[in-house]
Chains A and B, each alone.
Chain A
Amino acid sequence: GESVGLHLPTLSVQEGDNSIINCAYSNSASDYFIWYKQESGKGPQFIIDIRSNMDKRQGQRVTVLLNKTVKHLSLQIAATQPGDSAVYFCAEAHPPGNQFYFGTGTSLTVIP
């Protein structure tokens, strides 16, 4: 349903520090997960994905960790830069249909 009454979680980090954004997903049948970045006034943009047969996946400056036991997903951004400031969403997909269900998002602000 709608996120009435919920506030967008926020995270502020100093430029150059590492950032960790967390996400709890709801469906134990979910087998595919994606992290998206949404900058102000733009649509969500793919960052990195991971399938449920993996625990960790690394990209350029980003790492996604998946803990299926506690249904938890995290996105680690190394050496955070001002351009990383955005809202980050995790999304889960599961059969049938493999539609994506998005989390509430986390607003990351990088302090120069």
Chain B
Amino acid sequence: DTAVSQTPKYLVTQMGNDKSIKCEQNLGHDTMYWYKQDSKKFLKIMFSYNNKELIINETVPNRFSPKSPDKAHLNLHINSLELGDSAVYFCASSQPGVGTDTQYFGPGTRLTVL
């Protein structure tokens, strides 16, 4: 069983479009995250979210918004896509306070903006 899954795996779209990436975790974790990985493999956190608190990295444009319909899902909506949004986006989840805070990552979604 896949612990953290993302769809789609690849997303190619035109500049200016609005798109969403879905993430689901079946680990029962309370906290989920979105990361952006650029072409040089640099991994930067964008959001962390649990049912109590959304923490936003202040450098993330407000065109990006997380939406959580329930504890097992955290989707990423992106409005007015720009060329610089091209990257691989990773979803992750964790359960802080149970021995380790390790995060389990999804397989990633490669977004290409043309």
Contacts and interface: CB of A to CB of B under 8 A. Distances in A.
Interface of A: 1-4, 6-8, 32, 34, 36, 38, 41-46, 49, 87, 89, 93, 97-102, 104-105, 107
B66 interface: no
- Of the four ranges (under 10, 10 to 19, 20 to 34, 35 or more), the interface on chain B belongs to 20 to 34
Interface of B: 4, 38, 40-45, 48, 55, 59, 90, 92, 96, 100-108
Given A32-B101, A44-B90, A98-B96, A1 B59 contact: yes
Contacts of B55: 97, 99
A34 to B, nearest CB: 6
B107 A87 contact: no
Contacts of B92: 43
Given A97-B48, A97-B55, A101-B45, A43 B106 contact: yes
26 contacts: A2-B42, A3-B41, A4-B40, A6-B40, A6-B42, A32-B101, A36-B105, A42-B107, A43-B4, A43-B92, A43-B106, A46-B102, A46-B104, A49-B101, A93-B101, A97-B48, A98-B101, A99-B48, A101-B45, A102-B44, A102-B45, A104-B40, A104-B41, A104-B42, A105-B41, A105-B42
A105 B101 contact: no
Contact of A2 (B44, B101, B104, B105): B44
A87 B90 contact: no
A7 B40 contact: yes
A3 B42 contact: yes
A100 B103 contact: yes
Given A98-B96, A102-B43, A102-B44, A3 B101 contact: no
A105 to B, nearest CB: 5
B104 to A, nearest CB: 7
A112 B101 CA distance: 35
A2 B38 contact: yes
Given A100-B45, A102-B43, A42 B38 contact: no
B87 to A, nearest CB: 10
